[in-house]
Amino acid sequence: MDLDEIRQQRVQKIKDLSGKGIAAFGRRFAKGRNVGQILQTFKEGEEVSLAGRIIANRLHGKAAFLDLEDWSGKIQIYVKQDLISANSWEIFSLLDIGDIVGVKGELFKTRTGEPTVKAVELTMLSKSLRPLPEKWHGLKDVEIRYRQRYVDLISSKEVRNIFKTRSRIISFIRGLLDGKGFLEVETPMLHPIPGGARGKPFKSLHNEYDTEVFLRIAPELYLKRLLVGGLEKVYEINRSFRNEGVSTKHNPEFTMLEVYEGYADYEGMMVLTEEIVSGLAKELFGSFKFNYQGKEIDVTAPWQRKSFAEVVKQKFDISPEDDTQAIIQKLAAKHLKVEGKLSRSSLMKIVEDHLEEEQSFNPVFFVDYFSSLSPLAKKKPDSPLLAERFELFMGGMEIANAYSELNDPIEQKKRLEDDLKDNKEGTLDEDFITALEYGMPPAGGLGIGIDRLVMLLTDMPSIREVIFFPLLRPEK
C-alpha cells in the first residue's frame, strides 16, 4: 500500500471518529507522571494517567497490547473490550501506529513480568495521517533524517538521547558559570556592521531605518562593552552566523559559549576551559576518560601545551614576521594547495586545518599565536610578535579560542585598521573604540564551540547530528 492510500484510509478514520462524536485531535489531557517515572516507582494496583504515541499494536481477539511511548520511555498498555467504556473501544478500533492517546488505568505485571497499564479509559489526542518509519530500522536516508528531524526523533531513542545530552551539557555549563558569579547576558544578533571575528556575514535590510544589517559573526565586541560598563564577569550562550561553507564540522548557524572575566587573562581561561570540559566528562561518564570515534580521550587536567609558533616553524618554516608571499612560497614547498589571492590570515587557516588533522585526540592548548593573526589579543611582553592567546584542539577539532583581551584603545584601533588591509569586507567599529576609551579592565575572554563539544561528548562524527535542524541545500 502506498503513502497516498494509507493517508486516505486514516483520513476516513477521522471521519468515522467524528461520526461517533469523537474528536480526532483532542484538547488538554491531565497527565500524571511520565512513563519513566511510572516505571521507576512501579507499584501494582496503582491508578495512573499518562499520554504518548502508539508505536506498536498486538491484537489478541477482543483484547490487545499496545506500546505507548513518551519522551521518557515506553510502557505496555493492555486493552480489553469488557474493561473499557464503549466510547474508548470505538477509539481503540480506529487507532493506528503513530496516534497520540491519553490512557487512564491500573498498573499490573503480566505473567512474563512486563510492567503494564490495564486501560479503563482511552482519549484520542492526535490522529497520525502518515505511517512511521519501519519499526526496527527507523530512518536510514541521512538527508531525510535531517530534513524531517521530527520523524527521526519519533523513530530513534538514540537520536532523542543525543539532544537530551546536549541540553544537559548546556545546563551544566550554565550552572558552573552561575556558581562562579558570572552573569548570563544577551547581546544583539542584528549588527549595524559585521565584526567581532573573521567571517563572511549574512546581510539583510531593516525596512524602518532603511539600513543594512548583518547577522552577528560573534558577540565579542558587545560583551566587552559590558566589561567597560562595570559587569566584570559575563557570559552568553549565543547563536552566531557565518555565510561560509558546510561540512561535518561547520554549519552556517552555530552555537557558541563566550565568557569574559575582568582582571583575568588567557591563563585563567585555560583553567576555566579545563574545568568546564573535565567537569562535563565526569558528569556524563563518571570519568575523565571517554571514547570518540573509536579512540579514547583523557581530559584529566592539566592539559598539554604546544607552541603554535614553534610547530609551524618546524613543519612549514613559517615565522611570525613572514609576509603573505613568503607564507605562500613556504606552503607550496610543503605541497599544500594554495589557490587564488589569499590574505595572510586565510593562509594561516590552511596551516591550522593541517595541524588540526595531525593532533592527538587528547586536549592540547596551542599557545604562542602570531599577534598579527590576533588583533583583539594582548601581545606577550617579552615576545611582541606573539599573542597571549590559545586555541584548544581535541578529538581532531578546534574546540575553543581565548585571549588576554587587548584593552588599550589606541593600540586596538591601529591593529584593527591594519587588519582591515587584510580583510576588505570588514569595517572598523568606531563605537567599540569609543567604549575602550572609557576604560576596560584587563580581562580574559573565552569562546567554546558548543556544537563541536556536543559532537565529542555524544560520539557523533558530524555536526549535523547534534543540531536539531541543520541548514540543508534546497530540495529539487
The CATH number of whichever domain residue 176 belongs to comes to 3.30.930.10
Strand ranges (E), 287-430: 289-292, 295-298, 304-307, 364-367, 369-370, 379-380, 383-387, 389-394, 397-405
142 part of a folded domain: no
What pLDDT digit, counting tens, does each position of 377-431 carry? 999 999 999 999 999 999 989 999 999 999 999 999 999 998 888 766 678 999 9
- pLDDT(463) > 80: yes
* pLDDT confidence band for 136 (50 / 70 / 90): very low
Rounded to 5 degrees, φ, ψ at 179 are: -65, -20
Q: Are residues 118 and 179 in the same domain?
A: no
For the segment 228-250, the average pLDDT, to the nearest whole number, is 95
- pLDDT(103) > 50: yes
Backbone dihedral region for residue 40 (phi beyond 0: left; psi -120 to 50: alpha; all else: beta)? alpha
Q: What is the DSSP letter of 378?
A: P
For the segment 153-172, the average pLDDT, to the nearest whole number, is 95
115 part of a folded domain: yes
Where does 286-323 have alpha helices with state H? 308-316
80 part of a folded domain: yes
Q: Are residues 236 and 289 in the same domain?
A: yes
309 part of a folded domain: yes
Closest C-alpha to 147, from 468, 390, 406, 402: 468
CA distance 194 to 215: 8
259 part of a folded domain: yes
For the segment 272-293, the average pLDDT, to the nearest whole number, is 98
Question: Higher confidence at residue 325 or residue 231?
Answer: 231
- pLDDT(160) > 90: yes
Q: Are residues 342 and 205 in the same domain?
A: yes
* pLDDT confidence band for 139 (50 / 70 / 90): low
Report the share of the chain in percent with pLDDT over 70.
96
Distances (CA, A) of 167 to 162, 173, 284, 315, 454: 9, 10, 12, 40, 10
Q: Are residues 285 and 428 in the same domain?
A: yes
Q: Are residues 375 and 438 in the same domain?
A: yes
Q: Are residues 70 and 35 in the same domain?
A: yes
| Secondary-structure breakdown of the chain: helix, strand, coil percentages, each rounded to the nearest 5 | 35, 30, 35
Q: Which three cell numbers stand for residue 48?
A: 495512573
Q: Are residues 329 and 235 in the same domain?
A: yes
Distances (CA, A) of 66 to 93, 138, 324: 12, 19, 68
- pLDDT(295) > 50: yes
Query: What is the CATH number for 101?
Result: 2.40.50.140
CA distance 49 to 120: 10
- Host domain of residue 20: 3-132
Q: Which three cell numbers stand for residue 263?
A: 582582571
For the segment 192-203, the average pLDDT, to the nearest whole number, is 87
217 part of a folded domain: yes
Q: Which three cell numbers stand for residue 185?
A: 547576558
- pLDDT(341) > 90: no
Backbone dihedral region for residue 230 (phi beyond 0: left; psi -120 to 50: alpha; all else: beta)? left
CA distance 222 to 388: 21
For the segment 189-211, the average pLDDT, to the nearest whole number, is 91
CA distance 145 to 141: 6
* pLDDT confidence band for 344 (50 / 70 / 90): low
CA distance 295 to 415: 41
Q: Which of 79, 102, 132 is the last residue of a domain?
A: 132
Sheet architecture: strand order including 389-394: 183-184, 233-241, 253-262, 443-449, 397-405, 389-394, 364-367, 304-307
Q: For the chain, how big is the Rg over CA atoms in Å?
A: 28
Q: How many structural domains is the chain composed of?
A: 2
H or E segment and range at residue 212: strand 211-215
472 part of a folded domain: no
Q: Are residues 127 and 261 in the same domain?
A: no
Strand ranges (E), 86-202: 100-109, 115-126, 183-184, 190-191
Q: Are residues 281 and 172 in the same domain?
A: yes
Cis peptide bond N-terminal to 384, omega within 30: no
Q: Are residues 282 and 418 in the same domain?
A: yes
Q: Are residues 305 and 384 in the same domain?
A: yes
* Minimum mean pLDDT range among 103-112, 307-316, 384-393, 416-425: 416-425
The DSSP bridge partners found for residue 78 are 65, 118
Closest C-alpha to 465, from 216, 165, 205, 92: 165
Q: How crowded is residue 186: how many other Cβ atoms within 10 Å of its Cβ?
A: 10
- pLDDT(353) > 80: no
CB 255 within 8 A of CB 237: yes
383 part of a folded domain: yes
For the segment 204-213, the average pLDDT, to the nearest whole number, is 95
Rounded to 5 degrees, φ, ψ at 449 are: -75, 105
Q: Are residues 192 and 250 in the same domain?
A: yes
Average pLDDT, the chain: 92
